[in-house]
Amino acid sequence: MQISLANKSAIVTGSGRGIGHAIAETLAKAGASVLLTDIDEAALGEAKATIEAAVAAEKSPAKLSTITGDLTAPNFPESVIAKALKDFGSLDIIVNNAGYTWDSVIQKTTDEQFQAMLDIHVVAPFRILRAAAPWLRETAKKEIEAGKIVIRKVVNITSISGLGGNAGQAGYSSGKAAIVGLTKTLAKEWGRYNVAVNAVGFGLIDTRLTRPMENAETNIAIGDRQVRVGMQSQVREQAERSIPLGRTGTPQDAANTVLFFCSPLSDYVTGEVLVCGGGIRF
């Protein structure tokens, strides 16, 4: 079955690289116009160029737009929603993907570190969705009054760390658990507006956040802060051995799962968490 998102518009946060890039490209190839957002302007520009080439090859009608900024800045989420509505005239899909890891055992986790994980993984998505609420509600009311039903989608990104916990990730696991609560609450609040709200929980997906520290970029810039990312080789190898499908996931594997929730195939699914982890247990 060919999944078409033609005439749909989407926001994908953290789409400058990795999973976010793959999600944005997958939605655009399916026909959706996509607003790419990222804190890294250079990465965002490269992602836009790559996706434009993929869209052209697919002869997709998708249009692309970008906005650069820090999602944890209190007013930036409102700017993201305003930009999407200005550029596309509507908003059908929101994918809250942006995030990073900043790991420590609890006795070494600072207040700043813990709060940073909450800010990016649940506070920023909350602000994005709150900013979108007025347009989504008023638009849905008009459609319903006219006897028209339009199903819109929110996909929040969680993790097996948020569902089952993970040693050394008190902040990350807490943020990823909190987004599940927000997902289930909004599914109940927004059902009346024909908005399906779901979450995808990723397992071990091969990105710079999970690659061996010895072989990968181990620091990422978050504002003025340098955060060490990656996994110890021994820990990663142990995790890989626990995956029933026998391999780590790819960004495309992750994007395909998100596509399901963005597509008409999931129009009667809301308030659910779907794990994309190759069968890994948590």
Q: What is the dihedral of CA 122, 123, 127, 128, to 10 degrees?
A: -40
pLDDT for position 87: 98
pLDDT for position 218: 67
Q: Catalytic: which of 100, 172, 193, 268?
A: 172
What are 207-249's pLDDT values in tens digits? Answer: 877 767 665 566 777 767 777 777 676 767 777 788 999 999 9
* Annotation says 100 is catalytic: no
For the ranges 24-28, 76-80, 162-166, 231-235, which has the lowest average pLDDT? 231-235
Other Cβ atoms within 10 Å of 244 Cβ, number: 9
Angle formed by the axes of helices 170-190 and 111-118, to 10°? Answer: 30
What are 184-202's pLDDT values in tens digits? Answer: 999 999 999 999 999 999 9
Q: Where are the domains of the chain?
A: 9-203+250-276
Whether 255 has a pLDDT exceeding 90, the answer reads yes
Average pLDDT, stretch 24-31? 98
pLDDT for position 215: 57
Right CATH for 9-203+250-276 from 3.40.50.720, 3.30.1300.10, 3.90.1150.10, 3.40.50.300: 3.40.50.720
Contact present, 154 and 182 (Cβ < 8 Å): no
Residue 261: CA atoms inside 13 Å, Cβ hemisphere, count?
30
Between 204 and 52, name the one with better pLDDT.
52
Within 40-123, residue ranges assigned H as helices are 41-58, 76-88, 111-118
Whether 1 has a pLDDT exceeding 80, the answer reads no
Backbone angles phi, psi at 246, to 5 degrees: 80, 15
pLDDT for position 241: 82
